[in-house]
Amino acid sequence: MTPDLSVALGRLRLRNPVMVAAGTFGYGLDYRDLVDLTQLGAIVTKSLTLAPRMGNPPPRVAETPAGMLNAIGLQNDGVEAFILETLPRLREYGTPIVASVAGETIEEYVQVAMKLSRAEGVAALELNLSCPNQARGGMEYGVHPELTAQVVAAVRQATDLPLIAKLSPNVGDITPIAQAAVQAGADILCLINTVLGVAVDARTRQFRLASKVGGLSGPAVKPIALYHLWRVRQSLPETPLIGVGGISSVDDALEFILLGAHAVQIGTANYVQPTLAQEVAQGLAAYLQENGIDSVTAIRGTVR
């Protein structure tokens, strides 16, 4: 018997729990020649802003031990280009499309969310709460419970789509923020976004990123992502969670699921192995089969 990989995150139903993470799979079509898009649980787009954004000056990326720093600066063609040019072709694959929503102001989040909600073929919205808040000197929205609640509540008003709040790990205690997001109307929580980090080039004696600070991702952050997931799982046992951070194998995905994630996202590892997400989905099925387990939900949260 083929094990059942389907999962329901509230109203968001996926054929398997393996998604690709925002900003690591382009707008969704870029890898269509290498990846079978129909095998993915869901595709999260690069974060979309109201107007096109040029992004940060280079260098924007630096490799670090088992990880990387990025400061792309939300370069994107804007939400309208996505809706007009990408969405019609992407939705033909039938794979749920999760649009990542970004903004520098709450109003911008709301505007982007409204446009995406009116478009055909968006399965859910994911709020990127790691955007720099202009009103507070560039601090991430997602590091404050109240700011998080404000963004989520405002977008909740503007859309009927399932709403995912993607949390920042750059906090002492993530649970009040998770709770604030859920109370403000988030249906699903996704965690983690990148961890703040710095790298210096000892030879040129300069920051490795033009923006100095960047976001750390990749295998290096996996223990941190699991830690935050586990804390949120305990504090909000009923909320569907999406685990992300450093996943690059079937075992990595299982770690998150065993700790209570309904689904997982693969980010940085797509760069190294574009086919990874579909292979992880297949590998999960194989794992369940070998262990005589008939559905992925049966092992969810069994490590406590």
Ligand X SMILES: Cc1cc2nc3c(=O)[nH]c(=O)nc-3n(C[C@H](O)[C@H](O)[C@H](O)COP(=O)(O)OP(=O)(O)OC[C@H]3O[C@@H](n4cnc5c(N)ncnc54)[C@H](O)[C@@H]3O)c2cc1C
- How many residues form the binding site for another protein (CB under 8 A)? 37
Q: Could you confirm whether 190 is annotated as catalytic?
A: no
Residue 107 tokens, joined:
């109003």
Phi, psi angles (nearest 5°) of residue 8: -120, 120
Residue type, 200: V
65 touches ligand X by CB under 6 A: no
For residue 217, the partner it binds in ligand X, ligand FMN, a copy of itself, none, with Cβ less than 5 to 8 A by kind, is: ligand FMN
54 touches another protein by CB under 8 A: yes
286 touches ligand X by CB under 6 A: no
159 touches another protein by CB under 8 A: no
Residue 36 tokens, joined:
């079978």
| Candidate ranges 66-74, 89-97, 145-153, 177-185; the one touching another protein (CB under 8 A) | 66-74
CA angle 85-87-92, nearest 5°?
120
Please state the closest distance from residue 283 (CB atom) to ligand X, in A.
12
103 touches another protein by CB under 8 A: no
Residue with token string 């088992």: 66
218 touches ligand FMN by CB under 6 A: yes
Please report the sign of the dihedral spanned by the C-alpha atoms of residue 117, residue 122, residue 127, residue 133. negative
Among positions 171-230, residues that touch another protein (CB under 8 A) are: 218-220
For residue 203, the partner it binds in another protein, ligand FMN, ligand X, none, with Cβ less than 5 to 8 A by kind, is: ligand X
For residue 299, the partner it binds in ligand X, a copy of itself, another protein, none, with Cβ less than 5 to 8 A by kind, is: a copy of itself
Residue type, 69: L
- How many residues form the binding site for ligand X (CB under 6 A)? 4
Could you give the string, one character per residue 108-137, with x where binding to ligand FMN holds by CB under 6 A and - elsewhere? --------------------x---------
**How far apart (Å, rounded) are the C-alpha atoms in residues 9 and 221?**
24
Give the number of other CB atoms < 10 A from CB of residue 83.
19
| Candidate ranges 115-123, 137-145, 183-191, 271-279; the one touching another protein (CB under 8 A) | 271-279
Could you give the string, one character per residue 32-61, with x where binding to ligand FMN holds by CB under 6 A and - elsewhere? --------------xx--------------
18 touches ligand FMN by CB under 6 A: no
DSSP assignment, residue 45? P
Name which position in 201, 206, 291, 298 contacts ligand X (CB under 6 A).
201
Please state the closest distance from residue 234 (CB atom) to ligand FMN, in A.
21
Residue 73 tokens, joined:
């600066």
Residue type, 191: L
Name which position in 178, 221, 241, 296 contacts ligand FMN (CB under 6 A).
221
Which residue, among 127, 113, 128, 121, has the nearest Cα to 160 in the 3D structure?
A: 113
| Candidate ranges 39-47, 186-194, 198-206, 237-245; the one touching ligand X (CB under 6 A) | 198-206
Distances (CA, A) of 64 to 81, 238, 247, 302: 33, 36, 16, 33
Which residue, among 180, 182, 155, has the nearest Cα to 100 in the 3D structure?
A: 155
Which residue, among 45, 151, 47, has the nearest Cα to 98 in the 3D structure?
A: 45
Which residue, among 131, 156, 158, 157, has the nearest Cα to 143 in the 3D structure?
A: 131
Which residue, among 196, 194, 193, 178, has the nearest Cα to 240 in the 3D structure?
A: 178
| C-alpha 114, offset from chain centre | 20
Task: Just list the catalytic residues.
Answer: 131
Question: Using CB under 8 A as the criterion, which residues of the chain lie in contact with another protein when the complex forms?
Answer: 23-26, 30-31, 33-34, 46, 54-63, 65-68, 70, 72, 75, 218-220, 248, 268, 270-275
